[in-house]
A and B are shown apart, each in its own frame.
Chain A
Amino acid sequence: QVQLVQSGAEVRKPGASVKVSCKASAYTFSNYGISWVRQAPGQGLEWMGWISAYDGDTNYPQKFQGRLSVTTDTYTSTAYMELRDLISDDTALYYCVRDYNYIMDYWGQGTLVTVSS
C-alpha cells in the first residue's frame, strides 16, 4: 500500500535550518507531486509548498518564498523540505502529502519540529 514515511523529530535554535525527509513507497514516485503541510500546536493546517517529482517544478505561497526549499530525489523516492531562518512560530508538526491532479490523498505520519533557544 502507498506509504509516506517521514524522518524523526527535530529541535533547532532560532535562526537555524531544518531539513525533513519523506520516503515514498508502493507507487511510481515520479508520476506524482508532493505537498508539504504544517500544523502548529492546537492550530489548523497550513499549506507550505509543492513539488513535481516528475520535473522538479515547485510552487510556494508568498509567505514561504525565499525561506523554504522543497526537493526530490527520484532515485530514492524521497522528498525533502528545508526551512531556513527558523523562529519560534515555526514550531509545528510537518506533513508531506501526495498531491497530483488537485488531489491530496496519502499523508506522512508527521515530523515535529521544535524551535527553542
Chain B
Amino acid sequence: QTVVTQEPSLTVSPGGTVTLTCASSTGAVTSGYYPNWFQQKPGHAPRPLIYRSSNKHPWTPARFSGSILGGKAALTLSAVQPEDEADYYCLLFQGGVWVFGGGTKLTVL
C-alpha cells in the first residue's frame, strides 16, 4: 500500500512564505504522478488549487504555486493571508490509482 506523506502541521506569519511538501513511499515524485493540491476549510468541500504539479485553476490566487522540489511535490504560499489558514491535501497518481496525502494543517499566526 503506497503512502503519501505531508507535514502534519505548519505555522506561518501573515505576509510570510511557506512551502508544503508531498512525498511518496515509492520514491521520488515526478510530473508523472500528476500532483494535485486542494485547500479545505472547516465545513466545506475541498477547493482545488493546483493540478499537474504546477498548473493553476482559474480561481486559484496568484500567491499559490506548485512545483516538484527535491523529489517531492510542493505547494508554496507567498504573502500569506489570514484566510489561507486551512487544511491542505496533495493527491498523487501512482500505481494506476489516486492516493491522497494525510493533509497539512496550516496555521497563520
Binding site for B on A (CB under 8 A): 35, 37, 44-47, 50, 59, 61, 95, 102-105, 107-110
Contacts and interface: CB of A to CB of B under 8 A. Distances in A.
Interface of B: 34, 36, 38, 40, 45-48, 51-52, 57, 89, 91, 93, 96-103
Contact of A109 (B38, B45, B91): B45
Nearest to A35: B98
Given A102-B34, A104-B91, A105-B57, A46 B100 contact: yes
Interface majority SS (helix, strand, loop, mixed), chain A: strand
Contacts of A35: 98
Contacts of B51: 102-105
Contacts of A44: 89, 100-103
Interface majority SS (helix, strand, loop, mixed), chain B: strand
B97 A61 contact: yes
Contacts of A45: 38, 40, 46, 89, 91, 100, 103
Contact of A104 (B48, B96, B97, B101): B48
Contact of B52 (A59, A61, A102, A109): A102
Nearest to A46: B100
A50 B98 contact: yes
A15 to B, nearest CB: 26
Contact of B98 (A47, A95, A105, A107): A47
